[in-house]
Amino acid sequence: MVKMVKRANVTAVLFLCFLFLFSSASFFGDTAYAGWKFLTALSTRRHYRDWQALETSHFRLRYTEADEQLAPWLGREADQAAKEVSTILQHQQTVKPWLVISPDQGTLREVFGWGEGTGALGVYVAETIIILSPQAWEWEVPAQRQAVFAEQGPLVHEYTHYVLDARAQGNYTRWFSEGLAQYVEYRVNGYEWIEASSSLANPHYTKQELEQYFDQLPNQALAYRQAFSMVSYLVELQGEAGLNKMIDLLGQGTPFYDALRQNYGLEQLDFIAGWRSWVQKGVRWYEIKG
């Protein structure tokens, strides 16, 4: 999940996304998951409860004085992102998630207990999206920060995590969530995370590595790229309608690979074999431009 961003002489280590996941809802049950989500939301949001507030059509914003000027614009950007994601994922929002604008990396680190040298562009946890304010994107020149944020920012990506969570209630694998978030991000913004180490010419991670150790994998760019390509393969097979049917099955509590078999007629090994051979034919997965 660590994204290396290199600009001029500055190297910032950033989490592309930090996602907190509960285990399979089909194992723990919907009620336990809902209880966990409620308590986790309370515990996360207590840090931001006294911040300035603004309500938009889709979100409850929380921000500090540092982002007073930017907050209305961010709210509009977030509402637009929510509309576009909801069209693709056929989602009808019934509750308003929180959208917290963290003024700097230090504040994010403090809340999540991260060490020096780590950071995040966006975090999704329990109906709460936390983003790093565009004014803290220090690797971009100040005059361009808002524009780059609008093009590459984490709103679409993180809102997709929220929608999947709302629809499937935690019943999905990590690679599917990261792959879906990048797929929707690419569809809406045309943005994809490509760098030399993300090429699928590198030895691939195993399905088990992607499922159990996603955050610890040393080549995060590759793990994200692989997840994106796996979801793109599902789209190749049955389009976005297939993805939405898959999410419906997950929402009914069907275990992930049972849902894959029911929807695509593929066992786990056949899915991996099919994906590998499809990826080999796609030049885009071997690109290394940043």
Question: Which residues make up the interface to Zn ion (CB under 5 A)?
Answer: 17, 178, 181
For Zn ion, the nearest residue by Cβ is 17
CA dist., res. 179 & res. 287, Å (int): 17
Nearest 5°: the CA angle 137, 15, 177 is 125
Report the residue number, 71 or 156, with the smaller CB distance to Zn ion: 156
Name the CA radius of gyration of the chain, rounded.
18
Q: Contact at 8 Å (CB) between 108 and 142? A: no
- For residue 157, the minimal CB distance to Zn ion (Å) is 5
Report the residue number, 17 or 259, with the smaller CB distance to Zn ion: 17
Best CA proximity match to 68, nearest among 48, 50, 51, 46: 51
- For residue 40, the minimal CB distance to Zn ion (Å) is 17
Report the residue number, 17 or 222, with the smaller CB distance to Zn ion: 17
List Cβ neighbours of 87 (8 Å cut-off, separation of 6 or more).
Answer: none
Report the residue number, 84 or 178, with the smaller CB distance to Zn ion: 178
Nearest 5°: the CA angle 182, 1, 213 is 110
- For residue 252, the minimal CB distance to Zn ion (Å) is 24
- For residue 281, the minimal CB distance to Zn ion (Å) is 27
